[in-house]
């Protein structure tokens, strides 16, 4: 019977249950579980293994560059983001409402850290996330448009629940790229959430996109439902080094 049960678990694609069956039977015996409780125990284990596999797959596909979490974030180093604020972000109400977040500030203040930490928690909650640096995004958009596959690429990209774009504004982009970027933001508008990091305030994005008309069209859509977070202060990378340096000079 055992062999037949395992074969049928395979046929019904309950692959985890094949391995879990022995230990679940043992648990049922030891705890005197009813038939229903045993079934519930085994199916719950199957489902939680499936959820974890999906999370691992989404994490791999998300392209997050490294793992940074809110637990590693030193809230005392800056005053723009509080623990309470992060607790609110982690409810993902904003994502369900298709709102955006824009982290702005000088280098090293934790913009990418926060964006990655948000992406990581979103994946744990079952959302599909895609991380791009602006450079990689530009390459991917151009490649798709050269192959005349930009519309397809847009549709594929818009399947993610959250798109993170890191480092807008570091390098100026050409007019053709600005137009592709506008099409992306337009496609995502009120459909998906976008998290952006930038070393420039949005008022200065005109210089990055080289065209004020297209920049206002981009900002119009991005900012309509968005929270802008301006982080000020010294680079965390220099924490503890500024004083050491002045002593050694
Ligand atoms: P930015 O994107 O603003 O240039 P990063 O997020 O890349 O800065 O931060 C630079 C480094 O400093 C990273 O290793 C990051 O984890 C760390 N860091 C920045 N701010 C904090 C903070 N408040 N708490 C802990 N680590 C931080
Ligand atoms: Mg950064």
pLDDT in tens, 195-208: 999 999 998 998 88
Atom of ligand 1 nearest to the CA of 231: 3
pLDDT tens, residue by residue, 109-139: 999 999 999 999 999 999 999 999 999 999 9
**Does the C-beta of 198 come closer than 6 Å to ligand 1?**
no
Q: Which two tokens stand for residue 51?
A: 């959820």
pLDDT tens, residue by residue, 135-189: 999 999 999 999 899 999 999 999 999 999 999 998 889 889 999 999 999 999 9
C-beta separation of 22 from 34 below 8 A: no
Q: For a pocket test of ligand 1, which of 68, 110, 117 has the largest count of ligand atoms closer than 8 A to its C-beta?
A: 110
**Does the C-beta of 100 come closer than 6 Å to ligand 1?**
no
C-alpha 72 to ligand 1 mean position (Å): 10
Banded pLDDT at 241 (limits 50, 70, 90): confident
pLDDT tens, residue by residue, 37-88: 999 999 999 999 999 999 999 999 999 999 999 999 999 998 899 999 999 9
Q: For a pocket test of ligand 1, which of 108, 115, 231, 232 has the largest count of ligand atoms closer than 8 A to its C-beta?
A: 108
Task: Determine the Cα–Cα distance for residues 42 and 54; give it in Å rounded to an integer.
Answer: 19
Task: Determine the Cα–Cα distance for residues 111 and 101; give it in Å rounded to an integer.
Answer: 11
By percentage, how much of the chain surpasses pLDDT 70? 97
Task: Determine the Cα–Cα distance for residues 50 and 43; give it in Å rounded to an integer.
Answer: 10
Interacting residues of 89 by C-beta distance below 8 A, sequence separation 6+: 101, 118
CB count, 10 Å around CB of 97?
10
pLDDT tens, residue by residue, 101-111: 999 999 999 99
C-beta separation of 105 from 97 below 8 A: no
Q: Report the predicted TM-score, pTM, of the whole model to 2 decimal places.
A: 0.90
């Amino acid at each position: 019977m055992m062999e037949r049960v395992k074969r049928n678990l395979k046929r019904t694609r309950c692959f985890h249950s094949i391995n879990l069956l022995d230990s679940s039977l043992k648990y049922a015996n030891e705890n005197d579980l009813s038939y229903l409780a045993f079934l519930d125990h085994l199916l719950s284990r199957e489902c939680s293994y499936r959820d974890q596999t999906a999370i691992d797959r989404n994490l791999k596909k998300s392209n997050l560059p490294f793992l940074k979490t809110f637990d590693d974030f030193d809230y005392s180093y800056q005053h723009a983001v509080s623990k309470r604020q992060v607790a609110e972000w982690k409810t993902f109400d904003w994502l369900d409402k298709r709102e955006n977040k824009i982290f702005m500030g000088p280098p090293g203040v934790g913009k990418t850290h926060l964006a990655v930490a948000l992406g990581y928690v979103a994946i744990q909650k079952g959302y599909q996330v895609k991380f791009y640096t602006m450079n990689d995004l530009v390459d991917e958009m151009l490649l798709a448009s050269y192959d005349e596959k930009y519309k397809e690429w847009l549709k594929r990209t818009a399947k993610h629940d959250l798109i993170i774009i890191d480092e807008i504004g570091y390098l100026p982009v050409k007019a053709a790229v600005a137009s592709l970027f506008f099409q992306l933001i337009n496609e995502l508008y009120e459909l998906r959430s976008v998290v952006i990091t930038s070393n420039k305030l949005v008022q200065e994005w005109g210089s990055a996109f080289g065209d004020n008309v297209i920049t206002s069209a981009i900002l119009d859509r991005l900012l309509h439902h968005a929270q802008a977070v301006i982080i000020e202060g010294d680079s965390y990378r220099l924490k503890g080094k500024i004083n050491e340096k002045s002593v050694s000079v």
